[in-house]
Structure 1
């Protein structure tokens, strides 16, 4: 007899049940081994990046399989809010979807429809062939599927900032994520994620989300800024990534050993 499986709680479920700010990091290297190391770190969230990282469907699948053994909740960022791409991610078992660059209520509503089966959406039906249903081993998957998927949308532009409260109120949007880097660029402050205007804008989105009853997270690699957003009411924070941790740690080794060995001054610390 096949094993009948119960689905794990979604990212939205975890946020609703949390009694503290959740913390996570990005998996950008495309390595299942690295994703597994991150998942076992004790952080709450591992966010697999399909937008700015060299990953495809097979890599995302392998990372999801590696993370599955750990309590950390996996979230997958799609490269684009395209219904076909989202269908593929959902079918391979990405239960928690993050869509970048959502600027309006209309776009948010379209993303909700993309992750839901008819009559409430347009997701193509292929669950018997897919890991999402564990090949029909999750009982009543089709009837339950809309409740087994979590959708987070990113607020990354001035247009999205102005519409943040309305986007947060869209039925089917489980959470928002503010991307300060793109938001800063949209505000004419490229590379200035910690500019006071950008911080004020992020805190505006946090407050708009709280008013709508929708959790808001922020990408915040600077610890002091992350602490500020947590105090402002952010429901979750992404505080690092595998590639930046490796880059800074390897630079630290070079500063300590190579700089001393050749007599040159070590590079600036990070």
Structure 2
């Protein structure tokens, strides 16, 4: 029996648009609610959400019946934490702050078993193999792991073609908030100068033959990126949607400050 098919990875390869949502609450119940909302992919955020390995595993368990593909973002692209996340059942990773092709190659090594990589062989005791009830897991897992890397600095933008050329990188995701800060436009990712860099980067990723992704809280921009050919686009986050809904409800009764203006992430 082989590892389960990663339909999200297949959708990216087929350039089928995938709409996603960020999960930052770090709790299983709201994650489970989001898992039935109809998104193509959900990101359990270990970089900016208050998550640890156990809370990520709990959300993976809560989302096991969800039709959405679950993407896990580690806080850093380190081999040790990638090994742990894969063993608890993550199969699509979104790694932040990848600035070069050399970093991307190291990440590919981290998600693949030897001899193709250096992922530790602990499948017999891992949730990923359903505790050794998928006998062919170690032989087939590499094909179903999806590695997405985030380009969030001008260094990454300058190296985008080399990153895209790395075998085993399944998609490149532009991080507009950090990119705008790196460009000197912190909190102003909608600035024309930033948007020019983003749009050109999306085009370069696509031209290099890799799926391109991005997240903003602007519906106008998200639809623009989809029109430009971005394949995996995240359109919001659980925390901001929850906060906005509650503020709007309070405002209707003359309480609170109303719905906040959302910016990029």
TM class by smaller structure: over 0.9
RMSD of aligned alpha carbons: 1.6
**Per-residue Cα deviation, 1:93-129 (whole angstroms, up to 9, x for no partner):** 1011111000000000011011111111111111101
Name the structure 2 match of 1:127. Answer: 123
Name the structure 2 match of 1:202. Answer: 198
Aligned residues: 261
Identify unmatched segments of 5+ residues in structure 1: 261-265
Greater Cα offset, 190-199 or 176-185: 190-199
Name the structure 2 match of 1:7. Answer: 4
Flag the structure with larger Rg: 1
TM-score between the two structures when normalised by the length of structure 1 = 0.92
Task: State whether structure 2 residue 17 is matched by structure 1 residue 17.
Answer: no
Q: Give 1:90 shift.
A: 0.4
SS of structure 1 residue aligned to 2:234 = strand
Name the structure 2 match of 1:218. Answer: 214
- Distance in 1, matches of 2:60 and 2:69, equals 10
- Distance in 1, matches of 2:259 and 2:77, equals 39
Contact 2:247 2:259 survives alignment (8 Å): no
Task: State whether structure 2 residue 187 is matched by structure 1 residue 191.
Answer: yes
- Distance in 2, matches of 1:92 and 1:268, equals 37
TM-score between the two structures when normalised by the length of structure 2 = 0.94
Runs ≥4 in structure 1, deviation > 6 angstroms?
A: none
Name the structure 2 match of 1:263. Answer: none
**Per-residue Cα deviation, 1:1-38 (whole angstroms, up to 9, x for no partner):** xxx6751325322312353x210100110111111111
